[in-house]
Amino acid sequence: MHKKINSMTLAAIFAAIYLVISALSLAFPFLDGIILVIMPIFATYYAAIYKTKEILLFNLATLLLCFLVTISDPFFSILYIFPTLVVGDLFGLLIKKRVPYYTSFFILSIIYLLTNLFSFYLTKVFYDIDLLQELFQNEGFIQNFSFTFLLVFSMLEAFCCQKIICNELKKFHLSTFYETSLPIYYFIIVIVFSLLTILFLFLWTNLYLLCFFFVLSLSIFSIKEALCMIKHKSIIILIGLVALFLAAIPLLAFQKYLYLPLLILIPNLVFQIVYFCQILYNKKRKNLK
């Protein structure tokens, strides 16, 4: 009974904070950005310590109250409050399930990407405003890079949100932990998305560039880990950059710019497969001893 009262009290406090920020954001539109980055803190903390039923009740009550407060702009709660609750709930679930820090970051980035696509779509439907068209006047640029732009923006949101939330949650004795080694599913994801990137080159340029950037972001961790285990890092990096430059000359000369990412993608795919096989071999050998 005492725990139930605590959950209801905390839900009321957090809902009140959402109400105040929502009311202020109508008067001061620049607070919209604060809502997207700061407000998930409260939903994250609530989701990390309470059960699904209590989380759903908190979300429904908060959405309803914010809708009543912002009735002059009925779509405000859907565009701003709903995404922050989704991000907070899922991040809280990741913390509750003890998902490692970097894995949480990429999951959080994908969540932000999906919520941003949702918000952009609703903005187009409700207000007849194409935000990407407003940001970039070149239609060709939008068609080829809009998803990549959203992914980069979503990663920045995830980075800021995760940093702030993790620092604040330490005050409530909630913390995340870091990966001690790269998990098996990491390599599977990188290899699968690398193959999808090559496939999308011939189907949809937008998804091709999006998948390439996603693979590149993921690959940083394995490349960094591999470089830490070898000598003469500077020489290897220099040779790689020179080889990349020489291979890019023909593509630049014939203006085959879309094929430039393959100069990084294909060698990286080979590296990931070899590194993955090496890790599996080491584990099997260790188990036999």
Q: Angle 266-269-270 (CA atoms, 0-180°, nearest 5)?
A: 90
Q: Are 165 and 91 in contact (CB under 8 A)?
A: yes
**Is residue 179 a part of any domain in this protein?**
no
Between CA 152 and CA 163 the distance in angstroms is 17
Residue the block writes with tokens 């080159």: 201
CATH number at residue 69: 1.10.1760
Residue 164 has pLDDT above 70, yes or no: yes
The answer to whether residues 6 and 147 belong to one domain is yes
Q: What pLDDT sits at residue 13?
A: 85
Q: Is residue 75 part of a domain?
A: yes
Asked if residue 130 has pLDDT above 70, the reply is: no
Domain endpoint, select from 117, 144, 172? 172
- Kindly state whether residue 69 falls inside one of the protein's structural domains: yes
Lowest mean pLDDT among 67-71, 222-226, 284-288: 284-288
Closest-CA residue to 169 (of 84, 3, 46): 46
- Does residue 155 sit in the same domain as residue 194? no
Same domain, 190 and 165: no
Determine contact, residues 219/190, Cβ cutoff 8 Å.
yes
Domain coverage including residue 20 = 2-172
Q: Do 144 and 66 sit in the same domain of this protein? A: yes
* 62 touches 81 (CB < 8 A): yes
With bands split at pLDDT 50, 70 and 90, how would you rate the model's confidence at 191? very high
Query: Are 62 and 11 within one domain?
Result: yes
Residues 12 and 155 reside in one and the same domain: yes
Same domain, 68 and 166: yes
Structural domains of the chain, count: 2
Query: Is residue 204 one of the residues assigned to a domain?
Result: yes
| Amino acid, res. 117 | L
Boundary of a domain, candidates 124, 140, 172 = 172
Please give the backbone phi and psi of residue 51, each rounded to the nearest 5 degrees, phi first: -85, 170
End-to-end CA distance of the chain: 53
Whether 212 is in a domain gets the answer yes
203 burial type by CB count under 10 A (0-12 exposed, 13-18 middle, 19+ buried)? exposed
- pLDDT tens readout for residues 26-54: 777 666 666 777 788 888 888 888 888 88
Q: Is residue 177 part of a domain?
A: no
One domain, residues 125 and 199: no
Band (pLDDT 50/70/90 cuts) for residue 132 is low
Higher pLDDT, 8 or 111: 111
Contact 194/272 with Cβ under 8 angstroms?
Answer: yes
Tell me the mean pLDDT in the region 2-8. Answer: 70
**Residue 178: inside a domain, yes or no?**
no
One domain for residues 188 and 168: no
Q: Within this chain, do residues 85 and 18 fall inside the same structural domain, yes or no? A: yes
Domain boundary among 105, 138, 172: 172
Residue 260, amino acid: L
CA angle (255 as vertex; 254, 256 as ends), nearest 5: 95
Is 197 a domain residue?
yes
- Domain check: are 136 and 192 in the same one? no
Of the two residues 110 and 165, the one the predictor is more confident about is: 110
Residues 144 and 16 in one domain: yes
